[in-house]
Amino acid sequence: MDIEAIKINIGTEIQDLASLEALEELRVKYLGRKGVLAELTGSIPGLPVEARAAFGQSVNALKNKITLLIEEKKKLLAAPAAGGSAERVDIGMPGIVHEPGRLHPLTQVTREICAIFTRMGFSIIEGPEIETEFNNFTGLNIPLEHPSREAFDTFYLKADHRAPTTDHLLLRSHTSPVQIRVMKEKKPPLAVVVPGRVYRPDAVDASHSFMFHQIEGFIVDKNIRFSDLKGILEFFAKQVFGQDILMRFRPHFFPFTEPSAEVDISCVICKAKGCSACGRKGWIEILGSGMIHPNVFKHVGYDPKKYSGFAFGMGVERIAMLKYGINDIRLFYENDLRFLKQF
Protein backbone atom coordinates (compact mmCIF):
# COMPACT_ATOMS: atom_id res chain seq x y z
CA MET A 1 0.00 0.00 0.00
CA ASP A 2 1.05 3.58 -0.68
CA ILE A 3 2.10 5.58 2.35
CA GLU A 4 0.92 8.84 0.78
CA ALA A 5 -2.54 7.40 0.07
CA ILE A 6 -2.86 6.19 3.67
CA LYS A 7 -1.82 9.62 4.93
CA ILE A 8 -4.55 11.28 2.93
CA ASN A 9 -7.33 8.85 3.82
CA ILE A 10 -6.66 8.23 7.50
CA GLY A 11 -7.86 11.70 8.54
CA THR A 12 -11.40 11.35 7.14
CA GLU A 13 -11.55 7.69 8.12
CA ILE A 14 -11.04 8.60 11.78
CA GLN A 15 -13.28 11.61 11.69
CA ASP A 16 -16.25 9.53 10.56
CA LEU A 17 -16.00 7.10 13.46
CA ALA A 18 -18.78 7.36 16.04
CA SER A 19 -17.80 4.90 18.79
CA LEU A 20 -14.83 3.73 20.81
CA GLU A 21 -15.39 0.19 19.45
CA ALA A 22 -15.02 1.34 15.86
CA LEU A 23 -11.92 3.28 16.82
CA GLU A 24 -10.38 0.13 18.33
CA GLU A 25 -11.11 -1.76 15.11
CA LEU A 26 -9.33 0.93 13.15
CA ARG A 27 -6.35 0.80 15.52
CA VAL A 28 -6.02 -2.97 15.01
CA LYS A 29 -6.38 -2.53 11.28
CA TYR A 30 -3.42 -0.13 11.06
CA LEU A 31 -1.31 -0.62 14.14
CA GLY A 32 -2.14 -4.24 15.10
CA ARG A 33 0.38 -7.03 14.92
CA LYS A 34 -0.89 -7.96 11.49
CA GLY A 35 -1.94 -4.46 10.60
CA VAL A 36 -1.13 -2.23 7.66
CA LEU A 37 1.92 -0.70 9.26
CA ALA A 38 3.34 -4.04 10.35
CA GLU A 39 2.95 -5.10 6.75
CA LEU A 40 4.76 -2.00 5.55
CA THR A 41 7.59 -2.58 8.01
CA GLY A 42 7.69 -6.18 6.88
CA SER A 43 8.23 -5.04 3.31
CA ILE A 44 11.43 -3.11 4.14
CA PRO A 45 13.83 -6.03 3.65
CA GLY A 46 12.58 -6.36 0.08
CA LEU A 47 13.54 -2.81 -0.81
CA PRO A 48 16.79 -1.64 -2.35
CA VAL A 49 19.28 -0.88 0.42
CA GLU A 50 19.56 2.80 -0.44
CA ALA A 51 15.75 3.23 -0.13
CA ARG A 52 15.27 1.34 3.11
CA ALA A 53 16.25 4.15 5.55
CA ALA A 54 13.98 6.75 3.97
CA PHE A 55 11.07 4.33 3.73
CA GLY A 56 11.55 3.28 7.37
CA GLN A 57 11.39 6.90 8.47
CA SER A 58 8.22 7.52 6.48
CA VAL A 59 6.54 4.48 8.05
CA ASN A 60 7.56 5.66 11.49
CA ALA A 61 6.18 9.14 10.85
CA LEU A 62 2.93 7.62 9.63
CA LYS A 63 2.72 5.42 12.71
CA ASN A 64 3.20 8.44 14.96
CA LYS A 65 0.58 10.39 13.12
CA ILE A 66 -1.99 7.59 13.32
CA THR A 67 -1.30 7.03 17.01
CA LEU A 68 -1.82 10.72 17.67
CA LEU A 69 -5.07 10.90 15.70
CA ILE A 70 -6.44 7.83 17.50
CA GLU A 71 -5.59 9.30 20.92
CA GLU A 72 -7.31 12.56 20.08
CA LYS A 73 -10.39 10.81 18.79
CA LYS A 74 -10.48 8.62 21.87
CA LYS A 75 -10.60 11.67 24.13
CA LEU A 76 -13.31 13.20 22.02
CA LEU A 77 -15.51 10.09 22.14
CA ALA A 78 -15.02 9.62 25.89
CA ALA A 79 -15.99 13.27 26.72
CA PRO A 80 -19.65 13.99 27.66
CA ALA A 81 -21.95 15.57 25.11
CA ALA A 82 -21.72 19.34 24.97
CA GLY A 83 -23.30 20.89 28.07
CA GLY A 84 -24.92 17.69 29.29
CA SER A 85 -24.08 14.89 31.61
CA ALA A 86 -22.93 11.56 30.42
CA GLU A 87 -25.79 10.06 32.47
CA ARG A 88 -29.35 9.98 31.18
CA VAL A 89 -31.68 12.86 32.30
CA ASP A 90 -35.26 12.06 33.30
CA ILE A 91 -36.74 15.39 32.24
CA GLY A 92 -40.05 14.39 33.84
CA MET A 93 -38.57 15.01 37.30
CA PRO A 94 -39.44 18.34 38.92
CA GLY A 95 -37.28 21.29 37.95
CA ILE A 96 -35.07 22.74 40.65
CA VAL A 97 -35.75 26.38 41.33
CA HIS A 98 -36.18 28.96 44.05
CA GLU A 99 -39.78 30.01 43.41
CA PRO A 100 -40.29 33.77 43.58
CA GLY A 101 -43.52 35.22 44.96
CA ARG A 102 -45.95 37.24 42.91
CA LEU A 103 -47.49 40.67 42.95
CA HIS A 104 -51.17 40.90 43.79
CA PRO A 105 -53.29 41.06 40.60
CA LEU A 106 -54.45 44.55 41.61
CA THR A 107 -50.83 45.70 41.76
CA GLN A 108 -50.14 44.09 38.40
CA VAL A 109 -53.11 45.82 36.78
CA THR A 110 -52.27 49.13 38.47
CA ARG A 111 -48.73 48.93 37.17
CA GLU A 112 -49.85 48.01 33.68
CA ILE A 113 -52.25 50.95 33.56
CA CYS A 114 -49.78 53.42 35.07
CA ALA A 115 -47.07 52.23 32.68
CA ILE A 116 -49.27 52.99 29.67
CA PHE A 117 -49.66 56.55 30.89
CA THR A 118 -46.07 57.04 32.00
CA ARG A 119 -44.95 56.04 28.51
CA MET A 120 -47.00 59.03 27.32
CA GLY A 121 -45.24 61.34 29.78
CA PHE A 122 -47.56 61.20 32.80
CA SER A 123 -46.14 61.33 36.32
CA ILE A 124 -47.37 59.03 39.09
CA ILE A 125 -48.40 60.93 42.21
CA GLU A 126 -50.12 59.42 45.23
CA GLY A 127 -52.09 61.08 48.00
CA PRO A 128 -53.32 60.30 51.52
CA GLU A 129 -56.38 58.17 52.21
CA ILE A 130 -57.58 60.48 54.98
CA GLU A 131 -58.85 63.64 53.32
CA THR A 132 -60.59 66.90 54.05
CA GLU A 133 -64.13 67.65 53.00
CA PHE A 134 -62.77 70.46 50.86
CA ASN A 135 -60.45 68.27 48.79
CA ASN A 136 -62.94 65.42 48.50
CA PHE A 137 -66.02 67.53 47.72
CA THR A 138 -66.05 71.32 47.71
CA GLY A 139 -62.86 71.83 45.71
CA LEU A 140 -64.20 69.39 43.13
CA ASN A 141 -67.39 71.41 42.67
CA ILE A 142 -69.49 68.90 44.63
CA PRO A 143 -71.82 70.86 46.92
CA LEU A 144 -72.04 69.35 50.40
CA GLU A 145 -75.82 69.27 50.39
CA HIS A 146 -76.78 68.14 46.95
CA PRO A 147 -77.98 64.81 45.57
CA SER A 148 -74.86 64.69 43.39
CA ARG A 149 -73.06 63.78 46.59
CA GLU A 150 -75.07 60.62 46.94
CA ALA A 151 -72.83 58.88 44.44
CA PHE A 152 -70.06 59.64 46.89
CA ASP A 153 -71.34 58.29 50.18
CA THR A 154 -68.47 58.65 52.53
CA PHE A 155 -66.97 57.35 55.75
CA TYR A 156 -66.29 60.17 58.18
CA LEU A 157 -63.74 59.97 60.97
CA LYS A 158 -65.10 60.31 64.46
CA ALA A 159 -64.33 63.84 65.61
CA ASP A 160 -61.87 64.12 68.45
CA HIS A 161 -62.92 66.48 71.22
CA ARG A 162 -59.22 67.13 71.92
CA ALA A 163 -58.68 68.57 68.47
CA PRO A 164 -61.62 70.66 67.33
CA THR A 165 -61.29 71.00 63.59
CA THR A 166 -62.87 73.30 61.07
CA ASP A 167 -62.76 70.88 58.16
CA HIS A 168 -64.18 67.42 58.74
CA LEU A 169 -61.86 64.52 58.05
CA LEU A 170 -63.04 61.58 56.00
CA LEU A 171 -61.77 58.58 54.07
CA ARG A 172 -61.52 59.71 50.47
CA SER A 173 -64.35 58.31 48.37
CA HIS A 174 -62.36 58.72 45.15
CA THR A 175 -58.82 59.55 44.06
CA SER A 176 -59.93 62.91 42.62
CA PRO A 177 -58.89 64.92 45.72
CA VAL A 178 -55.31 64.38 44.55
CA GLN A 179 -56.21 66.62 41.57
CA ILE A 180 -56.78 69.43 44.04
CA ARG A 181 -53.59 68.66 45.97
CA VAL A 182 -51.42 68.54 42.85
CA MET A 183 -52.95 71.58 41.15
CA LYS A 184 -52.62 73.68 44.31
CA GLU A 185 -48.95 72.83 44.48
CA LYS A 186 -47.84 72.84 40.85
CA LYS A 187 -48.39 74.89 37.75
CA PRO A 188 -49.36 73.53 34.33
CA PRO A 189 -48.45 71.74 32.18
CA LEU A 190 -49.44 68.71 34.20
CA ALA A 191 -50.00 65.11 33.26
CA VAL A 192 -50.56 62.92 36.28
CA VAL A 193 -51.92 59.50 37.18
CA VAL A 194 -52.96 58.74 40.74
CA PRO A 195 -53.36 55.15 41.89
CA GLY A 196 -54.76 54.46 45.35
CA ARG A 197 -57.23 53.02 47.82
CA VAL A 198 -60.67 54.60 48.21
CA TYR A 199 -63.58 53.93 50.56
CA ARG A 200 -67.36 54.00 50.29
CA PRO A 201 -69.92 52.61 52.72
CA ASP A 202 -71.25 49.97 50.34
CA ALA A 203 -72.47 46.64 51.69
CA VAL A 204 -70.14 43.90 50.53
CA ASP A 205 -71.28 41.55 47.76
CA ALA A 206 -69.82 40.00 44.61
CA SER A 207 -69.43 43.39 42.94
CA HIS A 208 -69.18 45.84 45.86
CA SER A 209 -66.61 46.44 48.53
CA PHE A 210 -66.30 49.22 51.10
CA MET A 211 -62.66 49.55 50.08
CA PHE A 212 -61.42 49.41 46.52
CA HIS A 213 -58.78 50.91 44.25
CA GLN A 214 -58.97 53.65 41.68
CA ILE A 215 -56.68 55.22 39.16
CA GLU A 216 -57.23 58.87 38.47
CA GLY A 217 -55.57 60.72 35.64
CA PHE A 218 -55.53 64.31 34.46
CA ILE A 219 -53.86 66.65 32.03
CA VAL A 220 -53.82 70.42 32.28
CA ASP A 221 -52.21 72.67 29.70
CA LYS A 222 -53.10 75.33 27.18
CA ASN A 223 -55.39 74.06 24.42
CA ILE A 224 -56.29 70.64 25.80
CA ARG A 225 -59.35 69.49 23.85
CA PHE A 226 -62.13 66.94 24.25
CA SER A 227 -60.73 65.21 21.17
CA ASP A 228 -57.47 64.76 23.13
CA LEU A 229 -59.40 63.08 25.92
CA LYS A 230 -60.87 60.71 23.35
CA GLY A 231 -57.47 60.07 21.77
CA ILE A 232 -55.64 59.36 25.02
CA LEU A 233 -58.37 57.15 26.45
CA GLU A 234 -58.76 55.23 23.20
CA PHE A 235 -55.03 54.58 23.14
CA PHE A 236 -55.20 53.44 26.76
CA ALA A 237 -58.21 51.11 26.34
CA LYS A 238 -56.74 49.46 23.25
CA GLN A 239 -53.47 48.85 25.07
CA VAL A 240 -55.30 47.11 27.90
CA PHE A 241 -58.10 45.30 26.10
CA GLY A 242 -56.72 44.85 22.58
CA GLN A 243 -56.68 46.76 19.31
CA ASP A 244 -59.91 45.21 18.00
CA ILE A 245 -62.27 46.51 20.70
CA LEU A 246 -64.94 49.06 19.85
CA MET A 247 -65.34 52.12 22.05
CA ARG A 248 -68.01 54.66 22.73
CA PHE A 249 -68.06 57.88 24.72
CA ARG A 250 -71.44 58.56 26.34
CA PRO A 251 -72.42 61.93 27.83
CA HIS A 252 -72.72 61.71 31.60
CA PHE A 253 -72.61 63.96 34.63
CA PHE A 254 -69.79 64.43 37.08
CA PRO A 255 -69.69 67.63 39.12
CA PHE A 256 -65.96 68.12 38.51
CA THR A 257 -65.95 67.77 34.73
CA GLU A 258 -67.93 69.30 31.89
CA PRO A 259 -68.56 68.04 29.31
CA SER A 260 -68.37 64.63 30.95
CA ALA A 261 -68.27 61.21 29.37
CA GLU A 262 -68.53 57.63 30.44
CA VAL A 263 -66.44 55.32 28.34
CA ASP A 264 -67.69 51.91 27.26
CA ILE A 265 -65.83 49.17 25.46
CA SER A 266 -67.49 46.48 23.39
CA CYS A 267 -68.11 43.33 25.40
CA VAL A 268 -65.03 41.17 25.00
CA ILE A 269 -67.21 38.07 24.73
CA CYS A 270 -69.98 39.05 22.28
CA LYS A 271 -68.24 41.98 20.51
CA ALA A 272 -71.11 44.44 21.18
CA LYS A 273 -73.86 42.05 20.05
CA GLY A 274 -75.25 41.54 23.55
CA CYS A 275 -74.79 38.45 25.69
CA SER A 276 -75.29 37.32 29.27
CA ALA A 277 -71.82 38.52 30.29
CA CYS A 278 -72.64 42.15 29.44
CA GLY A 279 -76.29 41.99 30.50
CA ARG A 280 -77.40 41.97 26.83
CA LYS A 281 -76.08 45.49 26.43
CA GLY A 282 -73.07 44.66 24.29
CA TRP A 283 -71.13 47.37 26.07
CA ILE A 284 -69.19 47.47 29.30
CA GLU A 285 -68.46 50.70 31.13
CA ILE A 286 -64.82 51.03 32.08
CA LEU A 287 -64.28 54.61 33.19
CA GLY A 288 -65.63 58.10 33.76
CA SER A 289 -64.02 61.20 32.28
CA GLY A 290 -64.51 64.76 31.16
CA MET A 291 -63.06 68.21 30.65
CA ILE A 292 -62.09 69.64 34.05
CA HIS A 293 -64.82 72.01 35.27
CA PRO A 294 -63.89 75.72 35.31
CA ASN A 295 -65.00 75.88 38.97
CA VAL A 296 -62.35 73.30 39.90
CA PHE A 297 -59.71 75.50 38.25
CA LYS A 298 -61.01 78.49 40.19
CA HIS A 299 -60.70 76.57 43.47
CA VAL A 300 -57.02 75.86 42.83
CA GLY A 301 -56.21 79.29 41.42
CA TYR A 302 -55.86 78.42 37.73
CA ASP A 303 -57.31 80.73 35.11
CA PRO A 304 -59.99 78.73 33.25
CA LYS A 305 -59.63 81.06 30.28
CA LYS A 306 -55.96 80.26 29.96
CA TYR A 307 -55.90 76.56 30.73
CA SER A 308 -58.02 73.57 29.92
CA GLY A 309 -57.66 69.96 30.85
CA PHE A 310 -59.31 66.64 31.17
CA ALA A 311 -59.59 64.09 33.94
CA PHE A 312 -60.60 60.45 34.12
CA GLY A 313 -61.01 57.81 36.78
CA MET A 314 -61.45 54.09 36.79
CA GLY A 315 -61.87 51.23 39.26
CA VAL A 316 -58.87 48.92 39.27
CA GLU A 317 -60.91 45.95 40.54
CA ARG A 318 -63.37 46.40 37.70
CA ILE A 319 -60.62 46.47 35.07
CA ALA A 320 -58.91 43.45 36.66
CA MET A 321 -62.20 41.52 36.79
CA LEU A 322 -62.84 42.22 33.10
CA LYS A 323 -59.29 41.46 32.10
CA TYR A 324 -58.92 38.19 34.00
CA GLY A 325 -62.55 37.04 34.05
CA ILE A 326 -62.87 37.24 37.84
CA ASN A 327 -66.50 37.13 38.95
CA ASP A 328 -66.32 38.06 42.63
CA ILE A 329 -64.59 41.18 43.96
CA ARG A 330 -64.15 39.59 47.40
CA LEU A 331 -61.50 37.24 45.99
CA PHE A 332 -59.12 40.20 45.80
CA TYR A 333 -59.13 40.70 49.57
CA GLU A 334 -59.16 37.06 50.71
CA ASN A 335 -55.61 36.48 49.48
CA ASP A 336 -56.04 32.76 49.01
CA LEU A 337 -52.68 31.60 47.67
CA ARG A 338 -54.48 29.45 45.11
CA PHE A 339 -55.85 32.71 43.75
CA LEU A 340 -52.67 34.77 44.07
CA LYS A 341 -50.58 32.10 42.31
CA GLN A 342 -52.72 32.38 39.17
CA PHE A 343 -51.47 35.83 38.23
Partner 1 sequence: MKLTYNWLKEFVDITISPQALADKLTMAGLEVTSLEARDGDTVIEIEITSNRPDWLSVVGIAREVAAVTGKKLKLPAVSGYPVTRLSGYPDLELNIENKHDCPLYTARIITGVTVKPSPEWLQRRLELIGCRSVNNIVDITNYVLFTWGEPLHAFDLDTLSRGSIVVRRAKMGEKMLMINGQEKQLDPGILVIADRQKPVAVAGVMGSKETEVSEKTKDILLEAAVFDPVVVRRGRQALGLQSESAYRFERGVDRENADLSSQKAVALIGESAGGRCVLAKHAGALKTPGKQVSLELEVLNSLLGVVIEPARVKRILISLGFKVSAKSKSVLTAGVPSFRQDVCLDRDLVEEAARIFGYDNIPTSLPAFVAQAQYINSSGDTDFIKDCLTSLGLFEAVTHSLVDDAFLRKSGISQAEPVALQNPLSEEQGVLRTTLIPSLLRCVAGNLNQNQGLVNIFEVAHVFSRAAGEVTEKPVVSFVLCGQRNFWLAQGRLQDEMGPLHVKGIIETIFSRAGIRDYGFRAQENCPEIEVLIKGECAGKIYMPRKDALEQFQIKNKKVFAAELSLDKLFAAADFKKRFKALAAYPAISRDVSLVIKADVPVAEILSAIKEKAGALLRDVSVVDCYQGKQIPAGFKGLTISCLYRSDEGTLAESQIAPLHAAASEVLRERFSAVLR
- Of 99-128, binders to partner 1 (CB under 8 A) are 99-104, 106-107, 111, 114, 118, 120-121, 123-126, 128
At 128, which amino acid appears?
A: P
Contacting partner 1 within 39-98 (CB under 8 A): 94, 96, 98
Which of 11/189 has CB closer to partner 1?
A: 189
Cα–Cα distance measured from residue 149 to residue 144, given in angstroms and rounded to the nearest whole number: 7
Q: How many residues bind partner 1 (CB under 8 A)?
A: 87
Which one of residues 33, 88, 158, 306 is an interface residue with partner 1 (CB under 8 A)? 158
Cα–Cα distance measured from residue 141 to residue 162, given in angstroms and rounded to the nearest whole number: 31
Contacting partner 1 within 273-332 (CB under 8 A): 291, 293-294, 308, 332
Is 338 near partner 1 (CB under 8 A)?
Answer: yes
Contacting partner 1 within 212-271 (CB under 8 A): 219, 221, 223-228, 230-232, 234-235, 248-253, 255, 258-262
Dihedral sign, CA of 15, 19, 25, 31?
positive
Residues facing residue 221 across a β-bridge: 308
Q: How many residues does the chain have?
A: 343
Which of 16/150 has CB closer to partner 1?
A: 150
List of E strands, 222-282: 247-254, 257-266
Which of 51/120 has CB closer to partner 1?
A: 120
**Rg value, the chain, Cα:** 40
Cα–Cα distance measured from residue 135 to residue 133, given in angstroms and rounded to the nearest whole number: 6
Q: How far is the CB of 308 from partner 1 (least distance, A)?
A: 6
At 117, which amino acid appears?
A: F
Cα–Cα distance measured from residue 169 to residue 135, given in angstroms and rounded to the nearest whole number: 10
Which of 78/163 has CB closer to partner 1?
A: 163
